[in-house]
Amino acid sequence: MSSQANYRCPLCQQTLTLNDKTYRCDNNHSFDQAKQGYVNLLPVQFKHSKAPGDNKEMVLARRSFLDKGFYQPLVDKMLELYQEYAEQSTPLLDAGCGEGFYTHQHKTEFNEVYGVDIAKETIKIAAKRYQDCHFSVGTLSKLSFNDDYFSWLVSVYAPILETEFTRILKVNGYLLTVTPAEQHLFELKQLIYRQANEHDVSKSPIKNLTLIEEHKLTYPMHFNNSDDVLNLLAMTPFAFKASKELIEEIKVMTEFTCQADFILRLYKKQKNNQ
């Protein structure tokens, strides 16, 4: 997207202005817009590793899996909450957006939609496909947005940085989080660990905001194609634990059923939330 987005400088917090494909602040710090339209606002000194975030194979596996619609019931529930609570022309941020699958589904004719992720290769993939959203490379622990800017934040399976999220959210703005519930991908885990543990969902991590709705969404996903199961495995943290024998076993599977089990929590920033 070539139009101006509202960012602040990650180095001095002044507003950035886009001119001739470069974002620049009054202190002359500059950040070039890439040809895919995103901007890298992650200065090297903020990086803790050379290529932070998920690797490209994980991202492409996730995109193939999501494109098949296995998580469509989750998207539908997220959009239902968005439509119920959000005002029409509200800026929205997908924090830890990955390849933009959830980000772009919130884009309507009127609103400004942003996606931020620490993984540059992932943002490149997102910006290339979803040109009507503003994508940037950045860290959730130091976001390049002004205080009280967003009316809606989305966090799907990504780290939740409470202080920063509260800072950039307007009073009466909402944060929607999606996290795994106890039975999420339990059957897949059972293939890997002889005794699979359920997800620990005991803690609700956010104290600064007020929880106003909580939903559990559970449904079975039926696979009749081993590629889908391999993609699902590749997008999970337990992919690293899968043995070569297990991968061979999955390759010849003709059928597999696995639970999707999500918790959606909707929080609101109220006047007394800091």
Ligand X SMILES: C[S@@+](CC[C@H](N)C(=O)[O-])C[C@H]1O[C@@H](n2cnc3c(N)ncnc32)[C@H](O)[C@@H]1O
253 binds, among Zn ion, ligand X, none (CB under 5 to 8 A by kind): none
Residue at shortest CB range from Zn ion: 9
- Return all residues near 117 (Cβ < 8 A) that are at least 6 apart: 53, 96, 97, 98, 123, 126, 135, 137, 138
Q: With left for phi above 0 and alpha for psi between -120 and 50, is residue 252 left, alpha or beta?
A: alpha
Task: Tell me which of 8, 62, 104, 269 binds ligand X, using CB under 6 A.
Answer: 62
Toward ligand X, which CB reaches closer, 23 or 135? 135
Residues making contact with Zn ion (CB under 5 A): 9, 11-12, 25, 27, 29
122 binds, among Zn ion, ligand X, none (CB under 5 to 8 A by kind): ligand X
Toward ligand X, which CB reaches closer, 98 or 173? 98
How many chain residues are in contact with ligand X, going by CB under 6 A? Answer: 19
DSSP letter (8 states) at residue 169:
E
Choices 25-33, 139-147, 225-233, 259-267 (CB under 6 A): range interacting with ligand X: 139-147
165: contact with ligand X by CB under 6 A: no
33: contact with ligand X by CB under 6 A: no
Tokens linked to 20: 């001739």
154: nearest Cα among 205, 203, 113: 113
CA angle 60, 62, 68 (to 5 degrees): 105
CA angle 146, 173, 113 (to 5 degrees): 65
CB 120 within 8 A of CB 59: no
157: contact with ligand X by CB under 6 A: yes
Q: Which residues bind ligand X (CB under 6 A)?
A: 53-54, 62, 96-98, 101-102, 117-119, 122, 139-141, 156-159
